[in-house]
Structure 1
Amino acid sequence: MQSLQVLYKENVSISVGSSVKIKGRPIMPFCMTPELQVDFFTETNEDSDIAFSLRVHFGKELVMNSRQGGKWGEEVRFTVMPFRDGQPLEVDISVLSDQYQVTANGANSYPFNHQVDPASVRMIQVWRDVSLTSVVITPREGCDQTPRCQGDPST
């Protein structure tokens, strides 16, 4: 299966009901502390506010936050993770009316309340120590757009 380029960036427009599904694999063993980071930027540059940031420290914890006016908010941390060393990963981020809901490997769900309006998101970035096989951005139901997909042969 073909891998996507990491650092992966895509200009987007998301809203309540949208979702982002990321598939891949850490590129090193957990003992080397690999990470996955997903950022939802409010503009198409990395200096802009971040409506949602997810950082997975494989084998340790999952951290979520937002950045407004150049200042990071209070981190939300979870230490229970279904990721297994050497195994594929799947992260599904759903945009709900009051929060982002992160589902990891179809098992555990992690909430993060909106700090910044999700409709302001203009760019998604996925990066760090992973090999990506697909990033699928699905607009809210009822939207006449088709899902935007990179690297997923099923769409």
Structure 2
Amino acid sequence: SMNGVVDERMSFKAGQNLTVKGVPSIDSTNFAINVGNSAEDLALHINPRFDAHGDQQAVVVNSFQGGNWGTEQREGGFPFKQGEDFKIQITFNSEEFRIILPDGSEIHFPNNRYMHFEGEARIYSIEIK
């Protein structure tokens, strides 16, 4: 069940630093942060999974375009705890997104959709499930 959905429709420009703060519920299975123009056009999907989709304690990053997911990218660390505050920072340029996790570790993900942004990325949704 979804305990909270935030859809701020914020936008930010290349070089700016976006900070996302939240708290996964104590029984959260996973949560997602989506950056893109719409639900059908996500340049960046960050999905920390406590126990979901066959993964345990994994951060999965992907993109979604034209009804199709791209290639999942998985990272080693998992600096999230159910019921505890987190802070994620996101910056991007024409080449890539840089995601800074709560423990300071970084994920780099290709910016394949740059032209769709016309210089800005939109925070489409932040979901905590």
What TM-score do the two structures reach when normalised by structure 1?
0.66
- Distance of 1:7 and 1:86 partners within structure 2: 16
Could you tell me whether the CA contact under 8 Å between 1:99 and 1:114 is conserved in 2?
Answer: yes
Residues 59-74 of structure 1: pairs in structure 2 closer than 5 A: 60-74=57-71
Deviation of residue 62 (structure 1)? 0.5
Q: Which residue of structure 2 aligns with residue 56 of structure 1?
A: 48
- Distance of 1:67 and 1:112 partners within structure 2: 13
- Distance of 2:93 and 2:78 partners within structure 1: 21
Q: Report which of the two has the higher share of strand.
A: 2
Runs of 5+ in structure 1 lacking a partner? Answer: 130-155
- Distance of 1:25 and 1:14 partners within structure 2: 22
Could you tell me whether the CA contact under 8 Å between 1:60 and 1:79 is conserved in 2?
Answer: no
Could you tell me whether the CA contact under 8 Å between 2:12 and 2:18 is conserved in 1?
Answer: no
- Distance of 1:69 and 1:49 partners within structure 2: 7
| Aligned-partner residue type, residue 36 of structure 1 | F
SS at match of 1:42: strand
Deviation of residue 71 (structure 1)? 1.0
Runs of 5+ in structure 2 lacking a partner? Answer: 51-55
Alpha carbons of structure 1 residues 120 and 71: separation in structure 2 relative to 1, 3 Å: farther
* Percent identity (aligned): 22
Deviations along 1:103-142, whole A, 9 cap, x unmatched? 111421111111111436344200023xxxxxxxxxxxxx
Q: Which residue of structure 1 aligns with residue 53 of structure 2?
A: none
Q: Which residue of structure 2 aligns with residue 14 of structure 1?
A: 12
Alpha carbons of structure 1 residues 28 and 62: separation in structure 2 relative to 1, 3 Å: same
Could you tell me whether the CA contact under 8 Å between 2:37 and 2:121 is conserved in 1?
Answer: yes
| Aligned-partner residue type, residue 79 of structure 1 | G
Residues 1-155 of structure 1: pairs in structure 2 closer than 5 A: 6-29=4-27, 34-43=29-38, 46=39, 48-58=40-50, 60-117=57-114, 118=117, 119=119, 121-129=121-129
Deviations along 1:73-123, whole A, 9 cap, x unmatched? 111111312224543211111123411111111421111111111436344
Computing the radius of gyration from Cα coordinates, the structure with the larger value is: 1
What TM-score do the two structures reach when normalised by structure 2?
0.78
Alpha carbons of structure 1 residues 98 and 63: separation in structure 2 relative to 1, 3 Å: same
